[in-house]
Chain A
Amino acid sequence: MPEANSHHPYAITLDVGSSLANKTGSWRTERPVYLDRLPPCNDACPAGENVQEWVARAEEGDYEAAWRQIMVDNPFPAIMGRVCYRPCETACNRATLDEPVGINSIERFLGDEAISRGWSVVVEAPPTGKNVLVVGAGPSGLSAAYHLALRGHQVTVRDDSPEAGGMMRYGIPSYRLTRDVVDAEIQRIVEMGVRLELGTSVTDLGDALVDFDAVFLAVGAHVGRRADIPAGDSARIVDAVSMLAGLAKGEQPLLGRRVAVYGGGNTAMDVARTARRLGASDAIVVYRRTRERMPAHDIEVREALDEGVRMRWLSTIVYAGADRVRIEKMRLDESGFPQPTGEFEELDADSVVLALGQQADLALVRDLPGVEIADGVVQVDGRMMTGHAGLFAGGDMVPGERTVTVAVGHGKQAARNIDAWLRSATYEHPERPELATYDRLNTWYYADAPATLRPQLDVARRITSFDEVTQGLTAENALFEARRCMSCGNCLECDNCFGVCPDNAIIKLGPGQGYEIDLDFCKGCGLCAAECPSGAITMIRERS
């Protein structure tokens, strides 16, 4: 028996120790594990941007870091922020909750911020001594050039146009994409040491393939697809691509006061809206299917409608005359294909602009051995290489969606593979983690926060000038918008796991360091995983 203790009374003389001696980790049958899932925005980005990562930097207000993170994958943030059709926002999980995060608007803000602050990219890789020729100074070519330059290669870009940019300059109207932005972002690439040889036609690849260690073809699709429309002698029928390119080069197309645009793609919208700006009192889009089936992006259709463009769905032009066109009403069959109805109607139209799609000019590769052409485009393998060794291709001239973003992605993809090929290696894409789907999230933790809308010019001003329609966000709005990101599938250091553990078994390592599970005490209840807002914790069974 212990000596009668005068310090503590008997009932508690058997001193109570700490429960830290009791390692409750032995209760566990499952353990939590932190993981990174693939956010849907990243998954959807054709340019392969690490969207979530740069948004996270923007959330912190570190805009330059955010911009540099974009620049890892895409050299055109300011352009993207204007013309990208935002597959990221379509995929955004926040759309299920309320509205998608305005990724595109933040990107534009960052791109503009970079231009105004003169942020530039410095090539840190040592020169490799390898020479690469890029044919075509459009988004795909310039993207490839940028990425190749970053890797230390010497890049020459040739284009027969007087200025670089391809469709960015000669296809997209300036009210959507101002030319100073295009100039600035291309200039940044030039400053990295990329050689631009403009007004230079490449007619034969034979020499090039000898002179250069690799060639990337990105000539685009600039040939307007024609339709065989019976027309009167005085009918004025114009091709959309040529018309937009001419306009960009300073020509004034003569379309008249009433313009019929034939087609349902984005180009059709560009033309119709351009026509309004050129003074057409009536611009009418004639399309053979319904609005739902229009290839044009909804946002383009909406803006066109705002500007007074009219739509004739389920219609084909069967005859074009001097001041009117005849259209036939169509109906959709079970497969969704339009069928003639035999009902006709006439529309007043001083001109018809054909916006029925573009084709690539494949003359350059037609006779090259090994190069396979199918469906009007050049076939490439997973490395973006044609059947001809060392000849890569991308952009609108290869299979795929024809958007600036896809083209930029092609450029990056090609550059990676060209780089590997130049080093006699193979580029291995890292394994893609499991997708961070909406059901993985615990959205209760995200405060309600509606999306921020970008300001737009009023309609009256829009139809009288080529001024940029959509304005940028302020720094404050961009910050707000960035902070709507739910960080799907990736730890956002919200401390929930640290807080909700009933056993205090999560160790918080400090800013940027994340957390660790204290397996001595973790009982494996799974609360941390269940209450992780972003779904960045999973439970795995303990091995018995």
Chain B
Amino acid sequence: MRSQIEGSRAVAETVARCRPEVVCAYPISPQTHIVEALSVLVASGELAPCEFVNVESEFGAMSVAIGASAAGARAYTATASQGLLYMAEALYNASGLGLPIVMTVANRAIGAPINIWNDHSDSMSQRDSGWIQLYAETNQEAADLHVQAFRIAEELSLPVMVCMDGFVLTHAVEGIDVPSQEQVDAFLPPFGPQQVLDPDDPMTIGAMVGPDAFTEVRYLAHAKHLRALEVIPRVADEFATTFWRSSGGLVRPYGCLGADTVVVALGSVLGTVKDTVDELRAEGVSIGVLGLTTFRPFPYDAVRAALRGARRVVVLERALAAGMGGIVTADVCGSVPDKPITTVIAGLGGRPVTKKSLRGLLTDAVADRLEPLTFLDLKHDVVERELS
């Protein structure tokens, strides 16, 4: 049933309907509303049986989730920014152990300088952690992706990170159709762990692996991600059948077919990009949008197919690899190495990505006036003063 609620609340209620058995909470903006809402649902008995653990750090949060998952419980936590980095060691561990934990990342910049606003620096820094990464364009999708995330995670026995833009989505109140319990139950079977700490069947989980087998373990991890490229769209299809709406999957092309210029982006900025592109198309500009829902595993084939007809590609991303440029760009290049690609770094540290700016940017792009690496709305006077 559709209701006008905050994104965090929608995610919390959706997660609750996925019946997690252990939820770990450590406060960090902007994910706090999610675990606050879950704590209320657990305290009220609405979500039961479920253990809500107030941990002492994000490192502890992921660790508790690891223990819970290894003991056969459906485990969930949420974090952002510094918190994600603080749990980085445990992230690799969760994926290395093949534990199907689902975590919301309310994307936020990383300090210093400290900044609580949205960009993708946090989750991008963990792109190689072995977690599946899904990026929500809207709050509706954010909610829906969590249901799919548990399915994907448990089918593959891999952890899944659902990324939603901090504040922009988490704190936005919108009309959202929170999946009903019946729907979720029909879609998401109870967790049947593929490995579990069980006194009746003692198992060693997490043995030390030396040079003789580490490569093989990593190879297998990669293979599992490749398998995820099949599982993710299938789950999205099944979701659409059950819930009567489309969300998730690998990529979301929007007017790509026949477009000379395609803007690749992920997250909530896609809405503004689509608005802008619609205007440009109305003015006769041949331009489309490719939203990346799945960033890890990187859907090379899907991206290549979507960009087949494009003459130029603009990758708009909310994170920067200092000394290198675009993070997503590097992966898109892997899909279409022969196409001209420009990178636009936009919206760092919460700077709004406005339609006005985008319009100017895309106009330049279409006219091939864009630098290979452009910083949207960069205050040139400030940086030049510093650089001089």
Contact = CB atoms under 8 A, between A and B. Distances in A.
Q: Do chains A and B touch in the complex (CB under 8 A)?
A: yes
B158 A9 contact: yes
A1 B219 CA distance: 9
Given A1-B219, A8-B194, A9-B195, A14 B224 contact: no
A11 interface: yes
B97 interface: yes
Given A13-B220, A14-B213, A14-B217, A6 B97 contact: no
A446 interface: no
B44 interface: no
B381 interface: no
Contacts of A4: 223-224, 227
A11 B217 contact: yes
A1 B194 contact: no
B261 to A, nearest CB: 39
Contacts of A1: 219-220, 223
Interface in A1-48: 1-2, 4, 6-14, 16
B205 interface: yes
A12 B224 CA distance: 13
Given A16-B204, A16-B207, A10 B195 contact: no
B221 A10 contact: yes
Contacts of B97: 9, 11-12
With a 10 A CB-CB cut-off, give which of A2, A4, A9 has the most chain B CB atoms: A9
Interface in B165-224: 194-195, 203-207, 209, 213, 216-217, 219-221, 223-224
A10 to B, nearest CB: 4
B20 interface: no
A10 B156 CA distance: 9
A7 B205 CA distance: 14
A2 B224 CA distance: 12
Interface in A333-377: none
A367 to B, nearest CB: 88
Nearest to A7: B194
A284 B98 CA distance: 95
With a 10 A CB-CB cut-off, give which of A1, A2, A12 has the most chain B CB atoms: A12
Interface in A455-489: none
A7 B97 CA distance: 14
B219 A6 contact: no
B148 interface: no
B204 A10 contact: no
A11 B98 contact: yes
A12 B195 contact: yes
Contact of A10 (B203, B207, B224): B224
A7 B194 CA distance: 6
Contact of B98 (A2, A12, A16): A12
B194 A11 contact: no
Contacts of A12: 97-98, 195, 205-207
Contacts of A11: 95-98, 217, 220-221
Interface in B121-139: none
A196 B267 CA distance: 117
Given A14-B213, A14-B216, A8 B204 contact: no
B157 interface: yes
Nearest to B212: A14
A10 B195 CA distance: 11
With a 10 A CB-CB cut-off, give which of A2, A7, A14 has the most chain B CB atoms: A14
A18 to B, nearest CB: 9
A478 to B, nearest CB: 47
A10 B207 CA distance: 13
Contacts of B224: 4, 9-10
B281 to A, nearest CB: 43
A1 B220 CA distance: 8
Contacts of B217: 10-11, 14
A146 to B, nearest CB: 62
Contacts of B205: 12
Interface in B35-80: none
B158 to A, nearest CB: 7
Nearest to B205: A12
A212 B96 CA distance: 93
19 contacts: A2-B220, A4-B224, A6-B194, A7-B194, A9-B97, A9-B156, A9-B194, A9-B224, A10-B221, A10-B223, A11-B95, A11-B96, A11-B217, A11-B220, A12-B205, A12-B206, A13-B220, A14-B217, A16-B207
Given A1-B220, A14-B209, 9 more contacts: A1-B223, A2-B220, A6-B194, A8-B194, A8-B195, A9-B194, A10-B98, A12-B97, A12-B206
Interface of B: 95-99, 156-158, 194-195, 203-207, 209, 213, 216-217, 219-221, 223-224, 227
Interface of A: 1-2, 4, 6-14, 16
Query: Which 10 A-B pairs give the minimum distances between C-beta atoms?
Result: A9-B98, A9-B157, A10-B220, A11-B98, A16-B204, A16-B207, A11-B96, A10-B224, A9-B194, A11-B97
